[in-house]
Structure formats: structure tokens, C-alpha cells
Chains A and B, each alone.
Chain A
Amino acid sequence: MNLLQVDDLVAYHGLLQAVRGVSFAVDEGTIVAMVGANGAGKSTMLRTIAGAHRAAAGTVRFAGADVTHVPAHRRVRHGIALVPEGRKLFADLTVEENLLVAGRRARPGPWKLDTVLESFPMLRPLRKRRAASLSGGQQQATAIARAVMANPRLLIVDEVSLGLSPLAVDTVYECLAVLRTAGTTLILVEQDLQRALSVADHVLCVLEGRIVLGSATAAVTREQVTDAYFGLRPNLSEQS
């Protein structure tokens, strides 16, 4: 069953049409990697799905319900959680407070402060630290843990590894592996193509606000994704 169904979604970033009629579906329990250059419209698309950005046209259906005009804080109750680009932790709150804020209006489910700290053991010694004092990797782990506190059915992580050391990236993917085993559906924005293709079941390539390639990762080669990333579709390259 499709957990998320996006049809002809259009969204503006100021005057720019950042998302230009995008349609795709995500099956429950799968991992989708979204790749695309900076400014391709990935973040706006994902924020629109999470309700943080207004959709100008099109629909977003989640678990059968039309949530296009549901505000972001209620979509959390439906089970959509977004880890925004740049982590966006509440800097003056401690790690534990960041988690508790997200837990208060959570969808009922297995994830509570204790279970989250059990699954993200590196956060336990940091509980009383202010979020602003954490390293990039610790912040990303906290941001993911905060989103998990809401017991999401769909977790969207924008820029999983941006600005993180290779070691920190491994740690963050360990966190995500926990969610995969828990059966959470994931949409990841990942610039590291190698990693994106190895983790995900499905890949979406975004170019100038449109999805130019959508395929199961098993059925696509690295070259095909790279070509789509740069807008080099076979028919276009033949013409030039």
C-alpha cells in the first residue's frame, strides 16, 4: 500500500516555482533516496510534504487521507516527521528537552524518551548538554532522535550527511538502521550517491523542480543517476 502519494505538487519559494508538478508514491516500509543538485527543489518539496511549506497546487495524500491543507503540527499526529536541513535543534534547550518537546504531542507508539535513548546510546551521556554545544554528528543524531520521538510512520531526513565527518556519517546511518528495522518508512536526501544507492530501495532524482528519474535502486546504474542529476538524459545528449 502507498503510504505517501504525491500528485502534481507545485510549490513556490518566493517568486520562484521551486516544485513544478511533482508526482510520486512511497510504499510503506521502504527507504527512498532523493538526490539532486543544490537548488533543485528537494528541500521545498519535502517541507511541503511535511506541511512546513504551502502547496500552491496538487495534493499530498498520507495513509489514505488528503493532508494537503493540514498544518505541519497536525501532520506530525498523522505520522509525518521531518528532520529539516541544518538540523534546526532548539539551541538553548538540552538534548533531553529537545526530545521531550517532540514527545509531548507525539502520535501514540513505542518511541518514548527511554526507548529512544536505548536506540541512540550515544545521546545518553549528552542528555544534559545544551544542543548548541554538540558536534555536527551529535546534532544530527539528536535531530533524528527528536523526530523519532513523534513515532512517525514516515521519517524524512533532509541532508543526512551534509557537513558531517565520515565517522559521524557512519554513526548517523547506524541510527537510521535502527528505524529501518523498526519498519519506519524513510525518505533521505543524500549527496553521497554511493551511500544513497546502497541504503535505499528506491531512488528519486530531482532536477529543476521535477523528478527526472524514479526507479528501484536495483534497476538503475550509477551512471544513469549521474546523468539524471546533471540533466543529461540520453535523448538530450543525442541532440547536442
Chain B
Amino acid sequence: MTWINAVVQGLLLGGLYALFACGLSLLFGVMRIINLAHGDLAVLGAFLVWTISTQANLSPFWALLLALPVMLAVGYLLQRTVLSRSLRGGPLTPLLTTFGLGIVIQNALLQVYSPDVRSLGGATGALSTGSWRLTDQLSISYIGVLTLATAVLVLGGLQLMLRRTSFGREMRATAQDPDTAALVGVPASAVYARATAIAVGIATIAGTFLAIHSTFDAASGPLQLLFAFEAVVIGGLGSLWGTLTGGIVLGVAQTIGATFDPQYSILAGHLVFLAILASPRGRSILTRSDR
């Protein structure tokens, strides 16, 4: 029973990781950059939601709705100002830029919000503590199901947008060949800016769910970036449904590791990540990203 429980809890945890990984995967797929500030942008979003929620005395979900347009704009401006310039500097410059941006965000949050650990769990009431009790040893938390459902919705919506809408077509065309996309009238910079806006928006959703699930502080970003990165690599770079699978595999690995001993939880996730990376498929991922 503990095994079933571990798998079920891992599945739910995987939803959170998939949410984090989604924006990272999108930016890598479209712009071929790894956004090292992704986790910190998510935490920035979580702080914004926390501020709105506590100031206006709103449920975190309403606060998220208000914060989303702000964070979409942040993403858009980020691409227009910082990322578009660094993209011109070759493939390594965006890595450095986003690394620096992550540090700037962390320290700014530390200045403004102090190092206190916060959570949105209290503000959501029964949602974050309640669960369906299936058996004595197996219960499914409301918030876990909601997170996984949100992840599926976000990934599904993104997939639908990429496949079915004209903007999605432009995004796929630009991802494959930005020069040729320009030759058919598609400005890469505009597509990139919207992709970044969407990625930061989804990161905000992920950050909010993290804050409801557990706690967060100004320094929470890098660990979430690490999990997101692992989920993206496990699932296969540039594939959205793969990202969901990757998140779930990572989540299940962590919860199974934790049933042996809680201290093995994160380690087990890392080991699965390394195993995938060392496998033939992992090697093909690495060579593909060189393209």
C-alpha cells in the first residue's frame, strides 16, 4: 500500500513539476535558450500573488488572476529589453544574462520581502489541507489533484494553441527557422516576446501552486529551476506532453525515494535524471540541442 501511495503522491507532485517545466520547455523549444531565471521568475510571481492576496484580502486564486496580466507584461518586456539583446550575442550570452537576472530577482525579493518564509496554504483554507480519503493509508489531497489538473490544462491548452492557431503556427515556424520565418513576413522578435510572456505567465501559475503546496522565500527559485530542468530533460526537450511525463516521472521517483528514507527523496529524482541523461536517448537529446 505504501508503494501505491508513493506512486499516487508522486503523480500529483509531478503535476507541480510539469507546471514549472512547461515554461522552461517552451522557451527552449522556441528560442533555444535555457532561462536560468525561470525559477526566480516563478517565485517573483508567487510574491506578487502573496502581496495581492494579503493586501486585498483575496483568495490566492483571484490574486493569481490579477497577477497574471502583470507577469505576462513582465515577460514581454523582459524579451524586448534584456533577452533580445543577449540573443544577438550568441548561444552562451542568454545563459549568463538569465543567470544574472536570477540573482538580481533573488536579492531584490530579499530586500523587499525579507528572508521570512511564507506560504499561501493558509489563505486557501480547506483546499490546501483537505483530501479524499480512499483507504486508511491512501488519501488524495485536493490541492494535488487541482495542480495536476491545472498542469494538464495548461499543457493541453498550449499544445492546442501551437497546433491549431495561426499564432501557434508562427511560433512553430520561428522555432524551426527564424531566418526563413522572417522571409515569409514573421518577425522573430515579436514571436519571441509573446513566447516569453506566456512562459513567465505559466511560471507564475507554477509559483502560486508551489506557494499553496508548501512554503517559499526569496531563495526558493533555483531548486525549482533544477526540478523543472530535470523534468524537461527526462521528458525530452521541446516536447510538451513529454514535459508532463517528465514531471510525473520525477515526482514519482522522489516519493518512492522518500518511502525508503525521506533524505533520499530529492536524490532519487537526481538519479533518475542522471540515468536518463546517460541512456542513449539522453545522448541524443544532448546532441540535438547542439544543432
User: Are B182's CB and A73's CB within 8 A?
Assistant: yes
Asked whether B166 is an interface residue with its Cβ less than 8 Å from the other chain, the reply is yes
User: Are B173's CB and A76's CB within 8 A?
Assistant: no
Closest Cβ of chain B: how far from A109's Cβ, in Å? 13
| Most chain A CB inside 10 Å of its own CB: which residue of B166, B169, B183, B188 | B183
Closest Cβ of chain A: how far from B240's Cβ, in Å? 14
- Restricting to A96-153, which residues have a CB under 8 Å from any CB of B? 97-98, 100-102, 104-106, 146-147, 149-150
User: Are A90's CB and B173's CB within 8 A?
Assistant: yes
- Restricting to B119-176, which residues have a CB under 8 Å from any CB of A? 166, 169-170, 172-173, 176
Name B's interface SS: helix
Instruction: For A102, give its contact among B176, B177, B179, B185 (CB under 8 Å).
Output: B185
State the CA gap A50–B185 with chains docked (Å).
11
User: Are A84's CB and B185's CB within 8 A?
Assistant: no
- Restricting to A69-108, which residues have a CB under 8 Å from any CB of B? 71-74, 76-77, 81-82, 84, 88, 90-93, 97-98, 100-102, 104-106
A92-B172 contact, Cβ under 8 Å, with A72-B183, A76-B183:
yes
Asked whether A56 is an interface residue with its Cβ less than 8 Å from the other chain, the reply is no
Asked whether B100 is an interface residue with its Cβ less than 8 Å from the other chain, the reply is no
State the CA gap A77–B166 with chains docked (Å).
18
User: Are A100's CB and B166's CB within 8 A?
Assistant: yes
Asked whether A57 is an interface residue with its Cβ less than 8 Å from the other chain, the reply is no
- Restricting to A191-226, which residues have a CB under 8 Å from any CB of B? none
State the CA gap A104–B180 with chains docked (Å).
15
User: Are B180's CB and A84's CB within 8 A?
Assistant: yes
User: Are B187's CB and A73's CB within 8 A?
Assistant: yes
- Restricting to B176-232, which residues have a CB under 8 Å from any CB of A? 176-177, 179-188
A: number of interface residues (CB 8 Å): 29
User: Are B179's CB and A76's CB within 8 A?
Assistant: no
Instruction: For A82, give its contact among B166, B170, B173, B183 (CB under 8 Å).
Output: B183
Q: Give the residues in chain A near B186, CB-CB below 8 Å.
A: 73, 101, 104-105
User: Are A88's CB and B177's CB within 8 A?
Assistant: yes
B: number of interface residues (CB 8 Å): 17
Asked whether A52 is an interface residue with its Cβ less than 8 Å from the other chain, the reply is yes
User: Are B187's CB and A102's CB within 8 A?
Assistant: no
Q: Give the residues in chain A near B185, CB-CB below 8 Å.
A: 73, 76-77, 102, 104-106, 150
Instruction: For B176, give its contact among A50, A52, A92 (CB under 8 Å).
Output: A92
User: Are A90's CB and B180's CB within 8 A?
Assistant: yes
Closest Cβ of chain A: how far from B168's Cβ, in Å? 10
A100-B169 contact, Cβ under 8 Å, with A71-B187, A73-B187, A90-B176:
yes
Instruction: For B169, give its contact among A71, A76, A91, A93 (CB under 8 Å).
Output: A93
Question: Mask for B231-260, Cβ within 8 A of A = 1, else 0?
Answer: 000000000000000000000000000000
User: Are A81's CB and B183's CB within 8 A?
Assistant: yes
User: Are B169's CB and A52's CB within 8 A?
Assistant: no
User: Are A101's CB and B182's CB within 8 A?
Assistant: no
State the CA gap A102–B180 with chains docked (Å).
10
State the CA gap A66–B21 with chains docked (Å).
46
Closest B residue by C-beta to A149: B184
Closest Cβ of chain B: how far from A155's Cβ, in Å? 12
User: Are A52's CB and B177's CB within 8 A?
Assistant: no
Instruction: For B180, give its contact among A77, A88, A97 (CB under 8 Å).
Output: A88
Q: Can you list 14 A-B contacts with CB-CB less than 8 angstroms, sorted by A residue number? A: A50-B183, A52-B179, A72-B179, A73-B181, A73-B183, A73-B186, A73-B187, A76-B184, A88-B177, A90-B176, A90-B180, A101-B170, A102-B185, A105-B184
Please give the residue numbers on chain A whose beta carbons come within 8 Å of chain B beta carbons, in ascending order: 50-52, 71-74, 76-77, 81-82, 84, 88, 90-93, 97-98, 100-102, 104-106, 146-147, 149-150
The 7 closest A-B pairs by CB, nearest first: A76-B185, A105-B185, A102-B184, A72-B182, A88-B180, A73-B187, A90-B173
Please give the residue numbers on chain B whose beta carbons come within 8 Å of chain A beta carbons, in ascending order: 166, 169-170, 172-173, 176-177, 179-188
